[in-house]
Amino acid sequence: MGSTRQGAVVRFVSAPMGHSIDVRLDALTSAFPCAAGAPATKTIAGCASGQTFYIETFGCQMNVHDSEKVAGVLLGRGYRQVETPEAAHLVFYNTCSIREKAAQKVFSRLGQFKAGQDAGKLIGVLGCVAQQEGEQIFERAPWVSLVCGSASYRKLPELLAELEGGNRRVTGLETDTDETFETEMTRRDHPFRAYLTIIEGCDKACAYCVVPYTRGPERSRPSPSVLEEVRQLADAGYSEVQLLGQTVNSYRDPSPRRMSFAELLLAVAGVAGIRRVRFTTSHPRDFHAEIVEAIDAVPALCDHVHLPVQSGSSRVLRAMQRTYTREEYLEKIALIRAARRPVSVTTDIIVGFPGETEEDFEETLSLLDLAQYDGAFSFKFSPRPNTPALALADPIPEEEKGRRLAILQERQRRIQTTRNETLIGQAFEVLVDGQSRKEGQWAGRTSSNRVLNFTSSRESLLGNYIQVRVTRAGPNSLVGEHVI
Ligand code: SAM
Ligand code: SF4
């Protein structure tokens, strides 16, 4: 997910969910007087230095939330957030290296920077590219001052102090930590929905994936600390929380309460003021009936599960080291489909993994038909440094990967269109989270995480939960009208 700022409206582009919403800037900044441009001399969370920062985020929701926490650390130190790198003393890029294209983006940003660089500007590279490339970044872009991977964010205040003290080269690149990145202050970028990381890192070893290398080992956050933050969020007016983790359902409570993931979901949903709880991403191996039972029991647990399959072929899944077979995965889907209320299921798929035959690919297509996903994020396999798949023989040519991706996306598009068309005529509760420039046009999200654009004669709907009847359906979103 990333966000781009356009005039007085902030557009959130969400990936893996792949949709965008517009939110008025004043709605976002009003909760943060410092960020809203309060004079630097007024004492708001120590806003006295007059120094400014800009942060751009690439990649997943976890990166987006990490950036919110980094922004919180900076605001707490007296920095003020600005909207362009040109206006900033401190420029941070929070990077993603999951696929090669994503990793290249940051170097293209850094390249642009060189040309218009102001003397005295400090540039920092955070996140997965920082972890992956380490100090080599200083060689490729000597104007960079800070390189810090996500497993070292706890050290960020110290690293910032070093920068403020005049040190021009600081790094935080350790991954052997059991600490999670919690901050006293988080600058949240969405007015109604709050992200909350409950587990960091990853202990799985998928053959294609850089995450265990760039984010370090799994570290779960103690349940009392999670629940305390959820209570604070509810008090601050947030009604929806999204629990985050690369394998969120592998959560293991390190506190004496030893809550299971499903128990934690129920406890979060039980916090007064919280109307919706989401969680992403679930790993199929750790997805159990207890989670579906929790969703069944409590309407605040949203009817949506993101359960990446990656391939429909057991042979490829084994080569990917995914730790489940096609059949075992389909059993998890059956558990979800047997829930008492319809629960939407979305997935991630990689095509063109080394050695993937035409038959393997056909198995992925047939799995789409069986699973009937409500959404799928599909990617061409991208060989990544430090991953076991890099050494695998029989690479699939780029052109063939492209062909398979196009076929798969077309098949899935048809499935989504058909599934969404069955919703025409039904009314759903949506959280209104965007307003279109067109008069009377609003955007909301259903509990199943579908985008529902609708018309209403009412004003000031942002942040409200209202009923909307679906009148039209496309593969990626629904259109409807407010039921008054
Ligand atoms: N932790 C999640 C899981 O286990 O499914 C997802 C992590 S990753 C940020 C999001 C998605 O990127 C993965 O589900 C996978 O489909 C895709 N991905 C990861 N590595 C990739 C690679 N080397 N090439 C192509 N796609 C990749
Ligand atoms: Fe990567 Fe696999 Fe961990 Fe997901 S479970 S983050 S795909 S290694």
Task: Dump pLDDT digits (tens) for 117-170.
Answer: 566 789 999 999 999 999 999 999 999 999 999 988 989 999 999 998 989 899
pLDDT of amino acid 184:
81
Q: Which atom of ligand 2 is nearest to the CA of 247?
A: 5
- Hey, what are 196's tokens? 């909350």
Q: Is the link from the previous residue into 281 a cis peptide, with omega within 30 of 0?
A: yes
Ligand 2 site, residue 282, Cβ cutoff 6 A: no
pLDDT tens track for 230-241: 999 999 999 999
Cα gap 482→484, rounded to integer Å: 6
- Whether residue 202 is predicted with pLDDT greater than 90 in this model: the reply is yes
Least confident range from 212-216, 276-280, 320-324, 344-348: namely: 212-216
Q: How far away, in angstroms, is 398 Cα from ligand 1 center?
A: 18
Q: Which residues contact 253 (CB under 8 A, 6 or more apart)?
A: 220, 222, 223, 259, 260, 264
pLDDT of amino acid 20:
32
What mean pLDDT value characterizes the chain?
88
Say which residue, 208 or 153, is predicted with more confidence: 208
Ligand 2 site, residue 285, Cβ cutoff 6 A: no
What is the mean pLDDT of the segment spanning 183-210?
92
Q: Which of 329, 379, 401, 405 has the most ligand 1 atoms within 8 A of CB, as the residue to mutate?
A: 379
Q: Whose CA is nearest to atom 14 of ligand 1?
A: 348
Burial of 276 per CB tally in 10 Å (0-12, 13-18, 19+): buried
Buried b (16+ CB within 10 A) or exposed e, 32-58: bebbeeeebeeebbebeeebbbbbbbb
pLDDT tens track for 246-277: 999 999 999 999 999 999 999 999 999 999 99
Q: How far away, in angstroms, is 199 Cα from ligand 1 center?
A: 17
pLDDT tens track for 8-51: 333 333 333 333 333 333 333 323 323 323 322 222 333 336 89
Q: How far away, in angstroms, is 273 Cα from ligand 2 center?
A: 33
Pocket residues: Cβ below 6 A from ligand 1: 60, 98-99, 208-209, 211, 246-247, 281, 283, 308, 310, 348, 350, 379, 381-382, 384
Q: Whose CA is nearest to atom 5 of ligand 2?
A: 204
Ligand 2 site, residue 283, Cβ cutoff 6 A: yes
Q: Which atom of ligand 2 is nearest to the CA of 210?
A: 1
Q: Which atom of ligand 1 is nearest to the CA of 209?
A: 20
List of E strands, 251-374: 276-280, 304-306, 344-351
DSSP output for 247-273 = TGGG----STT---HHHHHHHHHTSTT
